[in-house]
Chains A and B, each alone.
Chain A
Amino acid sequence: IRGLRSQLKDSVPVAGLCPQGAYGVQDSLRSGFTSVKNELLPSHPLELSEKNFQLNQDKMNFSTLRNIQGLHAPLKLQMEYRAARQIQRLPFLPSSNLALDTLRGSDECIGFEDVLCDPGQSEVMGEPHMMVEYKLGLL
């Protein structure tokens, strides 16, 4: 069950307006240097293209498939993708996404997303209650 709220475009938290620190002051130790421009605009030319890379690849592949084999081929594949994307653990736990990887073919490739910044080894964990509420759209 996924609420509509979690599928809306995410609102960007602007640090200057409502600081999260203990005394209402910006917490530099935990949230780092912040500036309003940095929160709204990407600070590196590749930031947006990397965030959307998988999405764009999929779109391109589906569009090519539709042109070559007709509408039914990408529709059927997208149905399988949707089913595979639902096989996941709770939001704050790492999921292997094995079915999704096999469908995409990324179980036979290795890229920087496997080597760098492994979410299984990150130092902070998401807040379990907030993440589940966000996923269910109750937040």
Chain B
Amino acid sequence: MLHSLNPHQQQNGGFSFENSRRNAVLESSLLEGAYKTPNPRKTGTTIAGMVYKDGVVLGADTRATDDMVVADKNCMKIHYIAPKIYCCGAGVAADAEMATQMMASNVELHMLNTGRPPLVAMVTRQLKQMLFRYQGHMGSSVIVGGVDVTGAHLYSVYPHGSYDKLPFLTMGSGAAAAVSVFEDRFKPNMELEEAKQLVRDAIAAGIFCDLGSGSNVDLCVITEAGVQFLRGYDKPTAKGQREGQYRYKPGTTAVLTKTETPLSLDVVDESVQLMDTE
């Protein structure tokens, strides 16, 4: 498979485009339109984040979809980047996973090199440079939130490499539903419980109003003191408990009157058919 390149030169690491050549040939010639490349698995998602009084609260749903089928009912969309920086990933599941892992490794190397804890702005810069390099082919949209020496920050990065810095952010297919809750009830410098409730409500709006999001709500609270990862903070789609018995006992309804009408039926024809059971 490597002979199509110049055989005299050393191979480099990184992405190899052998398969895209093969796919191009397959799609164009061999099966005349009957062959289509399979789609990558996307996480139709609702992810949200907001800055409150002491830090940042990140929230995500837990459903991963494969076109119209739920591929994973309880996947984890909040990824670790640094001790006080976490990242929610939406879009193509594999791309988001790989991008965040690459970021985590780079941040660790940077920390060892400079001897300082990382800044959220640094993580955002590296992420947006990487995503821009791949021109949107790496389809992962990401919310980066954390606390560093300059305070609590929240950034969102889109697959093509643009970013936003705002007090509250939502991404994913359920972003519209979640941001409506934020727009209604967000205030600067909220208290912890109020903030957790607001993020939970935003994610729940995404879970109920968007087909691509579902299952549970995961929260991650990041403060100066540390991180509290609340996996399965709320399960709004859990089946309810039946409170009582819904069958009526015989004799509940009183019988008022009873009339019997015998029908006279005569036997007209009698035939026996043997079943072939051997």
Contacts and interface: CB of A to CB of B under 8 A. Distances in A.
Contact of B26 (A33, A45, A135): A33
A71 B20 CA distance: 42
A46 interface: yes
B7 A130 contact: yes
A64 to B, nearest CB: 15
Given A35-B29, A38-B21, A110-B106, A116 B15 contact: yes
A10 B137 contact: no
A109 interface: yes
Contact of A43 (B12, B20, B135): B20
B13 interface: yes
Contacts of A108: 109-110, 113
Contact of A32 (B4, B14, B110): B4
Nearest to B26: A33
A67 interface: no
Interface in B1-49: 1-4, 6-18, 20-26, 28-30
A122 interface: yes
B12 A35 contact: no
A57 to B, nearest CB: 10
A116 to B, nearest CB: 6
A112 B105 CA distance: 12
Nearest to B109: A108
Contact of A46 (B4, B18, B102, B137): B137
Contact of B10 (A42, A91, A114): A91
B133 interface: yes
Interface string A116-139: 111100101011001100110001
Given A43-B24, A108-B110, A31 B8 contact: no
B1 A50 contact: no
Contacts of B26: 33
A interface SS class: loop
A32 B18 contact: yes
B80 interface: no
B98 to A, nearest CB: 8
Interface in A1-53: 10, 13, 15, 20, 30-35, 38-39, 42-47, 49-50, 53
20 contacts: A10-B6, A13-B6, A30-B1, A32-B4, A43-B17, A44-B17, A45-B135, A46-B17, A46-B135, A47-B17, A50-B15, A108-B109, A110-B102, A110-B105, A110-B106, A111-B130, A116-B16, A117-B11, A130-B7, A131-B10
Interface of A: 10, 13, 15, 20, 30-35, 38-39, 42-47, 49-50, 53, 91-92, 94, 108-119, 122, 124, 126-127, 130-131, 134-135, 139
Interface of B: 1-4, 6-18, 20-26, 28-30, 102, 105-106, 109-110, 113, 130, 133-135, 137
Given A31-B4, A39-B4, A49-B135, 12 more contacts: A32-B22, A47-B20, A50-B15, A92-B10, A109-B109, A110-B105, A111-B14, A111-B130, A113-B12, A116-B13, A122-B2, A130-B8
